[in-house]
Structure 1
Amino acid sequence: MAMNNPYATYQNNSVNTSTPGELTLLLYNGCLKFIQQAKKALEAGNIEEKNTATQKAQAIVSELMVTLDQSVAISENMMVLYEFVNHRLLEGNIKNDPVLYDEAASIITEFRDTWKQVIQINRTKQYGKMDEV
């Protein structure tokens, strides 16, 4: 009989009860986590692990691209940056260049931080108080 993993249950509940904005924030954080894992694996010489982590980060970027609301004017600019990030991850993976991973992480960090501020502003408007995201 398999025992339930409390952490997995918590993660599942977090995803199932999150707003769309919070889910996007989770995607950004996940992407950054996988980029860092890829860099660490690269430094350790573990090419297979680097490749796997890079592909996971790319999958998240692809998901962000697919779910981008094209009716919003800024979407075109965001799509270009997502494509750039995806290309940097691909090149970083091929060339084993940590600088390319840093460039991708920098852009995703900017998106994440901006998105976090949007969520906080919306919460302030909605509830009249500032919560930490």
Structure 2
Amino acid sequence: MQNAAQQQYLKVQVETASPGELTLILYREMVKLLQIAKQFYSQNQIEGMNAALHKVRAILNELIVTLNMNYDISKNLYQLYEFYSRHIAEFMIERNEKMLDETLEFAQGMAETWKQAVLSLKKGGNS
């Protein structure tokens, strides 16, 4: 029952979010999935870890296809998303936990940056 309520909440949140807020939702979901993957990895539950990491790669792919390549920052983000997508693929083969930690650190940093950007835009819109 709680899962259905969470799904409904997320659905409404996504449907009413601005593009910046949608990006923040994706980054937060990526952080959550990477944390889940780390937990599965520490418990040697490779199937669950791989499932979470495939979802992370899907998020990165979604972030890539939404980039407007008319801006230099989009080209930089494209390179970052591609790098971390490959990083995850390599981790799944090599199982070097440092790679997973680096990807999680990237996702957390991006989530915090986007959170600040969204807040800044909201404040600017209310002035």
Q: Give the alignment's TM-score, normalised by structure 2.
A: 0.92
CA distance in 1, matches of 2:79, 2:4: 39
1:1-133 aligned within 5 A: 5-128=4-127
Q: How far does residue 83 in structure 1 lie from its aligned partner after superposition? A: 1.1
Greater mean deviation of Cα atoms: 21-30 or 73-82: 73-82
Q: Which amino acid aligns with 2:56?
A: A
Q: Which amino acid aligns with 1:37?
A: I
CA distance in 2, matches of 1:55, 1:108: 15
Gaps (5+ residues) in structure 1?
A: 129-133
- Looking at structure 2, the residues matched to 5 and 118 of structure 1 have their Cα atoms a distance apart, in angstroms, of 30
Alignment length, in residue pairs?
126
- Percent of aligned positions with the same letter in both sequences? 34
Q: Rg bigger for which structure?
A: 1
Structure 1 stretches of 4+ moved >3 Å:
none
Q: Distance in 1 between matches of 2:76 and 2:10?
A: 32
Alignment-mate amino acid for residue 58 of structure 2: A
**Contiguous gaps of at least 5 residues in structure 2:** none
DSSP-derived class of the 2:72 partner: coil
Amino acid at match of 2:90: E
Q: Which has the higher contact order (CA 8 A, sep 6+)?
A: 2
> Residues 40-95 of structure 1, C-alpha deviation per residue, up to 9 Å, x if partnerless?
11110101001101100010011101111111111111111111111111111111
1 or 2, which has the higher helix percentage? 2
Q: CA RMSD in A?
A: 1.6
- SS of residue matched to 1:107: helix
- Which amino acid is the alignment partner of residue 41 of structure 1? F
Counterpart Cα distance in 2 of 1:82 and 1:48: 23
